[in-house]
Every structure is written in structure tokens, then in C-alpha cells.
Structure 1
């Protein structure tokens, strides 16, 4: 498809330029003079260029349309994952609690485990009566299932999903190369850049809306095709580099041309000065977006992106009339994103709990219990002087660990691992509980929440017959929320999922301790549904003493703790076999494999999915991979788009 799009673009652009050139030559001959060199009409040429890009985008939207329609056929999905809010949720009687866990909220279960975890192990014998076979019963109102293109054409998907480098699959690279080919052709076609350097400026201006739409967090393009802004960020960076390169070559060519005929200062008219300022702003955007700067001076990157991003729009519009329309479109996209983010922002009170075993802080927001989907993340700002002089100005993304509208939980929950100065300060605040009766060992602070963002797009996790959720370290937040959502929908008769395998890889086995009560509760919840749940925890660090494992001698049925790295191929084959034998409603609707963790883990899971036996893949109706970023800890390795 990318090659076809490039060919269409090239032929259309060539035809347009040929028509313009022929008209100019005919006019010159009619006047009786020598044939003038053809002069390309930039407005018409780049308008056609952008129309072709819109056509390519339309193809991707068309490919995503079946899933979009299937998802939004359910009215509950119309605003799901758009805005945080609070609703009153009755507690159904069919949700039970594990022994010793009654009445505890999400975060309290994890925190209380440090005090009474022994009682959980001693009472876990009662849970060994759980039937771990695939549950009986049928969903009353299952969601519509639309197979992905990867499931329909597994061979092509296997090739295109091959990783070229971390974060870049073959499909993405092909798309980038197709865009680069059309970009270079449009910039170099029938022009001498040394004598007519305006072309480079024109093409940079024409791609500003593309650059800005890929940068916004409430991404119009991503919404249409079902991709979060973080998954389109590599394209944003790629387009940004091309635009910055074209702008600098455009300016340097003019400076060289003017220096040959006189002084550069003689040409510095007001519109040229505006162009120079816009050039400086573009270079600032590029310079402060370098990974070394982002990781070390994130606030500098943030502020420079906001200020320079707006200044570029203003000064470029004053630089040349051709740019006005494009700057208005880019400004409208950016303004829309800012307006929606303002509506998505809430200032409320959060409860902080320190989790020493995981080196993390558990954040519970009771006043927000609805409005997000499993896999989405929120941008958090802690409004406390304990975060340092400028700590309250920083906003960081974290994956939501709880499920929306869950009857047994109390609000939105985050797990923030110590990974830098900001997260360490947050952990320090959590270790200083509020004084007073009823504080429950927690610290209350004011926070600003913005979101939710990202998530599974148009894919509905509960529409699959089986699910394998793989997480590494703090990526467990994604697996927790997704498993809870499947079980919640299964209890309501609104899920097709019969088999769920949760795989967690952690360095130290002690990391299981604070999450054990929560895992136990998930296993109890699964008993009341037709969904079979298994939880496999693997620890990769060698233990220093056998006493470390004494507290894990007895675990709830369905939960295992194993040394070494998970054998993902064997686990996936087991999930496929159990799913194929589950007898799902209306046949098999595929297996979804979700992964959230370090890039190496994501690459390994991708290879495992590609290597799955074709017979098993066909027996379950296809296997689909969903990769999520680790937002459970501070990550600055990628450009955040427009902050």
C-alpha cells in the first residue's frame, strides 16, 4: 500500500507540474519571445501533495472503520476513555472477597498486606477448592468481534511487524520511507535549489499541519485509526526532522544567494526577519528534543516546546502569505487539543501509600472512579511543597492500575515506581502519613489529573475468546487493569473471554508480597464468572537466602511463583490450547496478547506471537498483539509531542 501511494503521488505531482510548465511555455511563445523556464505554482502543487496525503490517511481510516463501527455500536463506548468523572456504583452480591480482604479498597489491600499477609497464606487453603477449568455459562450480551487485519492476513502481518530496531517495525519503516520518497520528490522536482530555494520553505510549510496533528495528545488522526498519540510519536519525530532540515536548507540557500550579490542585511525586511525568528524557533524545537536534553532537562524541553511551537505558527504566517492557511490549520489542531485537555483536567485529593517491597508509591483518588479504559494512562501533577521548589510544575504519565466503575474498588489507582528525583520525592511524601484518626497510614495531597490518554483504541479486549497479559516490573499496572476489566465484564455477561493468563516478570520475589491480596481477590472474582484466570509470577534475581521464599510456601490456587524468565512460547501455546477447547460463543474470536514492560520484553513477546504454530493460530481464530508503553514509571526516552 505504501509503494502504491508513493507511485500515485509521484505521477499526480508530475502531471500537475507538467501542466503548469506547458502553460507557461505556451504563453511565452504567444508573446513572441524566447521560451521562459517553467515556473511551478507552489499553491496548487503543494495543495495536491497534501490532498494525496489525506487520501493515504483515508485508506488507514477505512481499514479501521469496521472496528470503529463495531465498538461504537454500544452506547457505553461513546464516551468511554474520554473524561474522568465519578458515578455511584452499587456493590453486586455476586462479587465476593477473599478471606481477610473484606471491606478493603484497592490500595488498602496492597498496603495492608505488609501487616497481615501471613493470614492470607494461612487461609489460602480455602481457595484450593476453586475449579480452575474453563468456566461454564455463556455471555448474555457479548461485544461484537471484528478480526484485525493481522488475524486475517497473518503472513503479511508477521513480515510487517518484524522489528528493525526498538520501536520501529518493518511496516513503520516502509511507511516512513514512502513518505520520505514523496517528500524528496516534491522538494527536488524540476527546481534549482541554489537559484530558487523557496521550494524548500514551501514544502516545510505544507507539512506543518501533519507535524502538529501527530504531536497533539488528543490526536484527531489517532482517534480515527484507533492509535494513541504515544504510538504515533515516532512519525511525529520523523516528520519534524524533515521539516527542520528543509527550513534550514531553505534559509542557508537564501543567505548564500544574498551574500553573492551584496550584504545579507540589505534583504532583512520585516517578513524576512519573521522568517529568521521562525527558523530559530524550529531549531530550538529540534535541539531541545534531543534525547540527551529531554532525559536530563525535561522541564526545559517542555517549556521550549510550548513557547517555540506557538511562536513558529505566528512568525511563519507573517513570513509569507502562502503559509497563512497552513498555520491556521496547525493552530486550530493545537488549540483543539489544548481545549480538550483543559476539559479533561481535574484538581482533587489523592491518598498516598508507600510500598517498600516494590519501591513504589500507591496513589488512590477516591473522587474519580469512572471514565477510563484499561490500558490508558493519566498525566499527574502533585500540588505539594514536598515535591521541591519546582516539583509541582512537573507533569508525568502513569498507567492506571484499576478498572473504571469497579464495584469493589475505590477510585482511580496508580502505582508510581521510584525512578528519578520527582518519583523519589513522591515516595518520601508517602512515607510521612497524615496525623489524626482515620488516616489509615496514608498521606493526603492535592493532585491535578489530566486525561485519560492512549489505550487499546478501537480494539475491545473483552471481545476475544482468550487473553494473555504479559508485564514486566511496573508494567503490572496494565495487566491488573485489563484483567479486572475482563472479569468485571464477564460478571455482567458482557465478555467473550473464557481464558485469561496473567504473566508478571519481576526481579525480586518480595515484589509479590504487596500484590498478593489483590491477586487473591482477582482469583476469587473469577470463580463467579465463566472466565478462567491464571496468574504466573516469575522472579529473575537469585535469592540470597531460602528464608525469602518461606512466606510463599502456600499460595492461592491459580497463582504460581517460579524462578527464571517466563517461557512465553510455552505459555502462549497453553493459552491457545485452553481457548480452543473452551467452546466459545459463536466460535472462536481470537486471542489477544497484551504486553507492557521494557522494550526487550515487548520485542520478545512479538517474536513469540510471530512464531506461534499456524494450526494453533487458526484454531483460536487468530492471535493479535497489543503493545503498551510503560507509563507506571518516569520515562523520557521519547518526545512527548506538544506538551
Structure 2
């Protein structure tokens, strides 16, 4: 009893000092699989041996699904022959193969002897390692005899399955310890042959090293994908770089142009359901992502033979590459969710546009799908050729893996550009449902296969956390703005082509997402809109109607709005004691949209039914970060080219681009309806902004760009901003980059394509 108590005390002491059998984190990054491998190799040889306490015809699997063991853990930790054989094997092979410390061996002894896989202190051996080793050496000196029993099972142990062999050791007398082999009965202290042990050792070393590679290369991939935009965006802080002509030429040749042709915003390649051609800068980033995925999938791996896990190199490649593809899919998935987030911290750190982030989100999604499909195909082929496919097919982890794979492929099919453009709302709902199904399938695929043993679930938790955090923040923004009412009217003279949305009680800027809960059955959907103007001012409660605004009045009004938006305590007290009429804070946000399919067509239809004015409840999500203003802050001059309702994406930035810097706005429109309805916003622009309009005709983009960039004599950086139809944006891009590549520009510039696209 005293010895038993001492052994349990040692185990409790090890556990209380934080000795963890396998660690926390990922394999190779906090978690070890076979440490020390020399001891795991010993147990690997004899784990399937039948012990005296092994249940006869037992059906319970105490190992893993791929490595079943019929002997329960408590049997391993009480069987004398097993423990003495293990101790002798560790003492024989470990000193010359890693030479683990005694504390590590003892930690293995108390944490892994019962399970052989994931460490646990639940089953404490009845004898310590030292005691077991002493007993084994005594058996080696004196020889062993088989247990004297009439049990049929023990008789089998003492019969044809036990090979007596004389073990010759240097500097020691010979002994009569038998040599045990895997799957044979073990009821006396035995030795393990060097060839059997080496095969097991090579298999475990190879397997864990490659598993370490799965984690390492996936972490490298994820960090490069997420941190490279940060590193590249820091170039804008290099003194004088963005204002140099060399940097302008670099962007004009290697960054701004489309990879091929002249279309970037206009869809091409309709054979595949439509697609957008990335710019050369975006393509370099996508190429880097693709190269990393291909290289890390195919290499490097290690191969050691002979080994116990894989019988051939082809078998190992099929299994290990299939596992590598699955882990790489997880890293791509995490980065994919970061780039899809509307509240992504990277958007605030970098100066990359949200459209670029969405493009990279799609490509990371492609690689998530590709690696997921490769993972499924390779392991399917492996189990069909080398394993028990029928048993795998019935496993819950396999079923959930199929669910995740099918959902991933379906996400790609339902996210083609033609689907997004022709049926955006269908795409939106299927995208959400399939993503949830993919995450659930992926999580349970890991859970039913590994539970929380090897850290694979961490990738799922990170991805779910990013996705869930974004939705929580978006819901919080809606709650913050509260339940509002949107007044929808038709822009006068536009024949229903444009709608005006006014939302009282909200002062916001940039891009917001609007949800109209009562407009359709899919009440949860939100849609992006650019805010053309927004104000917050104090109005007298006795004021009947607002005075007619002039340019000067508008400028004074804007100045007043800034002053009263955040009044000081003294101002508030003065206002309350003044004899002037009481004031209320009045705020309003205005949005102009073009009627197309989807939500805008529904709004137009409801407005046509309601008459001249439609009021609907609305929830507001946002505003969201825009990099345009921060990029223009470094410019001395701004040249804005707008087409039609694209003016709404430019006006807010021009309002911030005031004196003493100069700017010019070129605005092309079909008719004067937009010009009339936005007269106040146009009049409120800083006096340094010159405005040229073209009604009923196309803007002469070539002449505009040549005048602004090839004939400019004043110094400083020029910001070229375009917002409008895809054809206009691509034409501006082609003219700007072509002019610079020919060496005809006289001023450095930056090109900003203000657009939102899926």
C-alpha cells in the first residue's frame, strides 16, 4: 500500500507542476505527438499484444479508429510483464536515440503508458519506471518462467505464439528472455528486436515531422497573406516615395493596369460564369498566394524506411499530402474570413480598398475550396487503395467531411459573377447558409475524428470567431443607430431611373448598409449604399420652413453645423438661458441610387404603388472605413471623374478636400435630373473645386487625362479619382497608365477607383 501511495504521489506531483503530456496549441507549435519517440516506439510494437488481462473477444476499441487496441488502459498500467518489457525497451534504445532525461521518461510513464497516444494522468501505473526496470533486469539475469495457470488464454500465450530466443548483449551474460513481436501474446518480460523497434521509430519520426510541417507551412501561409498588405501599405510613409515619378511609373506598369487587355471593372470570360480581371498588382498578390499553396502542398516532406506506418512512398504521399491539403485549407479559410469582414482591422491599417479585399477574399476562397477538395479526393483514394473504405464511409467524421466538402463546392457554384450580378439576393442567402454548413461540417469533421487532442479545432474556432465577431459588430451598429424611417422619393425628371433616400435622425458618412425589414421576406439582408450628403444642425422649433439656400449660405451653414455638432457645456448653458427660441438637433442622411434589379427595383415598385413618397422602416449598418480620403490627404491636387450616379461616391471626398488645395470635377450625365437634385451639395463644395459637366454625351477621358497629367506645370502629387460605370473606370485606367508608360506625364499621381463590387 505504501508503494502504491508513493507512485500516485509522484504522478500528482508531476501534474501539479504543470507537466503536460502533449501540450497545447498546434502540432509542432506547443503540441508534441511522440515525445520521447524512443519510448513511443517501444509501446507501438507491443500495444496490440494480448496481455493476461486483455478481455477475451473484447469489442471495445481503446485505441484510435485507425489503430484499434482491444486492451483497456488499466490493463496496461497493471500488467507486470508489459511494464517490465516497456522499461527494458526504453532502457535499451533511448540512451542512443535522443537520450531523453529521466524526468521526461517518467512523465511519459505516468502520462502515456495507459493510452499510448494523448497523455492523461487518469491511469497511474502500479509500479514506477525504476521498479519495472529493476524487475526486468532481474528477469534478464535469472531467466523467466511462464505463469502457472490453467487458463486457456494463458496456455495460448505459453504455446506457439511465444518465441523463446536467447538475447546476446555486449558486456552482459546471455539470458533466456523471449523476443516479442506485434500482435503476439505477451505474458512474461520480453525484449523487442532492433528491426521491429527501428521500423516503429522511423514511422513515428516521419509522421510527426510531416505533421509539424502541416502546422508550420499553414502558419507561414496565413501570416504572409495577412501581414503582406500591412508591409506594403507602409511604403506610403517612406518620405518622398509616393511623390516620385519613379514610383508613379512603377504603379503605371506593374500595379494599376489590368493583367491583360483593358478591362478590370467590366466582366469578361463569360464561359466560366463571368469574372473580373485583376490589376497587375492584385495579380502579383494572387500569384504569391497560389505559389505558396502549391509549394507547401507538394513539399517538403521527409521519408524514412523501413517504417511501420506506410508500406511505400506512394502510400505515404497519398495520405500525407491529403492531410497537408486539409490543414492548408484551414489557413486559407482563416485569411478568407479576415478579408471578407466589413470591420476588418486590416482595412484600417492598410490603404487597400474594400473592393481589393473582396477580390482577395474570393481567391482565398478558391484555394480553400481547392485544398478541401484535394483533401477529400486524396484520402478517399488512400482508403480505397490502402485502407478500409467501407468502415471510413460509415464514420461520423467522414460523413461531416463530405458535408463540408459539398458545401465548399456549392459556395463556388453559387458565387459566380453571373449569379452575383443577376441574382444578388439569391447569392447572398445561399452564401450565408452554405458558409454556416461548411463551418459546422468542418468542425464536426475534426471533433469526431480527434476531439480536442491535436489542435486542429483551433483553426475552426479562429475562423468562426472572425466571422461571428463581424456579425456581432454589425448588429451592434444597427442597434446604435436604432429603428429609423427612410423616406423614398423619385428624383424629379429622371423617369424613375434614380431614387432619393432620406433618413432623418442619422448623421453618417462613407458607405452604409441598409436593411429594410418590411420590404421583402428576406428581411435580414443588408445592401451597400454611398452617402451623398449628411448633416447635423440645430434648428429652431419655431422655424416654419428652411430658408432657400445659396452658395454662401450653404458654406455658412456647413460651418455652423461643425460648431454646434458638439457644443461645450458653457454653450449649452447659454443656449438654455438665452431668450432665443429653443432649438432641436436635426440630422439627416441622403442617398441617391440608380434603379436596377434586386432591392432598388423593389423600392421603385413600392414607390410606384404608394405614390410620390414612400416611408419604410430601416436599420443602418456602418459607416464603413474608406481609404479614399486618407489617400487624397497627401495630394496637392485632385482630379475627379464621375459618371451618372457615381457622383455620390465622389462628393463626400471633395467636401473634405478644401482650400488651399485645388481640384477639378468632371461629371458626365444623361440628363440634368441628378444635377438639379444635388444642386445644394454641389454648391457646398469648396471654392477651390472647379466643376465641368457633360449632359447627354460621354466625357472625353483622353483629353481630360492629357490636360491634367501631361500639361500640368505645378508641382505636387495629383490624385485621380474615378467613380461611375465600369466602362468609364476602365477607360480612365487605360488612359492614365498608357500616358505614363509612354513617358508623357509631367506630374506624379495616384489612381483611385472608387467602387463597390462583389
- TM-score (ref. length: structure 2): 0.57
**Paired residue for 1:534?**
691
**Paired residue for 2:318?**
194
1:325 corresponds to 2:458: yes
1:379 corresponds to 2:379: no
1:446 Cα offset (Å): 1.3
1:537 Cα offset (Å): 1.8
**CA distance in 1 between partners of 2:625 and 2:226 (Å):** 19
Paired residues, number? 478
* Local SS of the residue matching 2:532: coil
Superposed counterparts of 1:349-368, under 5 Å: 349-355=485-491, 357-358=493-494, 359-368=497-506
Q: Deviations over 1:516-537 (max 9, x none)?
A: 3634x466545xx551422222
Superposed counterparts of 1:107-146, under 5 Å: none
**Paired residue for 2:257?**
162
1:402 corresponds to 2:512: no
Q: Deviations over 1:577-602 (max 9, x none)?
A: 89755xxxxxx441111111222211
**CA distance in 1 between partners of 2:278 and 2:535 (Å):** 32
**Paired residue for 2:223?**
54
Q: Deviations over 1:377-403 (max 9, x none)?
A: 22122234xx4x426444322222115
Q: Deviations over 1:511-554 (max 9, x none)?
A: 213423634x466545xx551422222423xxxxxxxxxxxxxx
**Paired residue for 1:501?**
664
1:177 Cα offset (Å): 1.3
Superposed counterparts of 1:374-523, under 5 Å: 376-384=510-518, 387=519, 389-390=520-521, 392-403=523-534, 407=557, 411-431=588-608, 442-456=613-627, 459-486=630-657, 490=658, 495-498=659-662, 500-506=663-669, 508=670, 511-516=671-676, 518-519=678-679, 521=680
1:451 Cα offset (Å): 1.6
Which of 384, 391, 413 is the matching residue for 1:266? 391
**CA distance in 2 between partners of 1:150 and 1:180 (Å):** 32
* Local SS of the residue matching 1:168: coil
**Paired residue for 1:309?**
435
**CA distance in 1 between partners of 2:213 and 2:664 (Å):** 55
**CA distance in 1 between partners of 2:681 and 2:430 (Å):** 45
**CA distance in 1 between partners of 2:387 and 2:604 (Å):** 62
**CA distance in 1 between partners of 2:339 and 2:683 (Å):** 43
Q: Deviations over 1:233-268 (max 9, x none)?
A: 111111211221221122122222323357633113
**Paired residue for 2:576?**
none
* Local SS of the residue matching 1:47: helix
Pick closer, same or farther for the CA change 1:301–1:283 going to 2, 3 Å: same
1:474 Cα offset (Å): 2.1
**CA distance in 2 between partners of 1:497 and 1:612 (Å):** 24
**Paired residue for 1:216?**
341
* Local SS of the residue matching 1:383: coil
**Paired residue for 1:624?**
750
CA contact under 8 A between 2:533 and 2:681: conserved in structure 1? no
Q: Deviations over 1:328-365 (max 9, x none)?
A: 21122112211221122233112211125331110111
1:302 Cα offset (Å): 2.1
* Local SS of the residue matching 1:207: helix
CA contact under 8 A between 1:354 and 1:431: conserved in structure 2? no
**CA distance in 1 between partners of 2:522 and 2:472 (Å):** 24
**CA distance in 2 between partners of 1:67 and 1:413 (Å):** 33
1:605 Cα offset (Å): 0.8
**Paired residue for 2:329?**
204
Greater RCO, 1 or 2 (C-alpha within 8 Å, sep 6+): 1
Q: Deviations over 1:102-140 (max 9, x none)?
A: xxxxxxxxxxxxxxxxxxxxxxxxxxxxxxxxxxxxxxx
**CA distance in 2 between partners of 1:335 and 1:418 (Å):** 32
**CA distance in 2 between partners of 1:590 and 1:210 (Å):** 34
**Paired residue for 1:251?**
376
1:183 Cα offset (Å): 0.8
Pick closer, same or farther for the CA change 1:404–1:595 going to 2, 3 Å: farther
**Paired residue for 2:581?**
none
**Paired residue for 1:181?**
291
**CA distance in 2 between partners of 1:55 and 1:391 (Å):** 38
**CA distance in 2 between partners of 1:263 and 1:537 (Å):** 72
- TM-score (ref. length: structure 1): 0.66
**CA distance in 2 between partners of 1:458 and 1:503 (Å):** 18
Superposed counterparts of 1:73-152, under 5 Å: 148=242
**Paired residue for 1:277?**
403
Pick closer, same or farther for the CA change 1:325–1:448 going to 2, 3 Å: same
1:502 Cα offset (Å): 1.6
Pick closer, same or farther for the CA change 1:416–1:150 going to 2, 3 Å: farther
1:569 Cα offset (Å): 3.2
1:605 corresponds to 2:739: no
Pick closer, same or farther for the CA change 1:393–1:472 going to 2, 3 Å: same
1:295 Cα offset (Å): 3.6
1:485 Cα offset (Å): 3.3
Unaligned 5+ segments in structure 2 are 1-28, 42-92, 98-193, 265-276, 302-313, 447-453, 538-556, 562-586
**CA distance in 2 between partners of 1:474 and 1:451 (Å):** 21
Q: Deviations over 1:399-418 (max 9, x none)?
A: 22115669459621111211
Pick closer, same or farther for the CA change 1:251–1:149 going to 2, 3 Å: farther
Pick closer, same or farther for the CA change 1:596–1:571 going to 2, 3 Å: same
1:457 Cα offset (Å): 5.2
CA contact under 8 A between 2:222 and 2:331: conserved in structure 1? no
Q: Which has the larger radius of gyration?
A: 2
1:481 Cα offset (Å): 2.6
Which of 721, 728, 745 is the matching residue for 1:594? 721
Pick closer, same or farther for the CA change 1:175–1:255 going to 2, 3 Å: same
CA contact under 8 A between 1:150 and 1:624: conserved in structure 2? no
1:458 Cα offset (Å): 6.7
1:454 Cα offset (Å): 4.9
Which of 349, 369, 379 is the matching residue for 2:507? 369
Unaligned 5+ segments in structure 1 are 1-15, 71-144, 435-440, 541-564, 582-587, 639-643
More deviation, 321-330/25-34? 25-34
**CA distance in 2 between partners of 1:453 and 1:418 (Å):** 23
**CA distance in 2 between partners of 1:414 and 1:256 (Å):** 55
**CA distance in 1 between partners of 2:391 and 2:434 (Å):** 27
* Alignment root-mean-square deviation, CA: 3.6
More deviation, 423-432/33-42? 33-42
CA contact under 8 A between 2:486 and 2:617: conserved in structure 1? yes
**CA distance in 2 between partners of 1:215 and 1:367 (Å):** 30
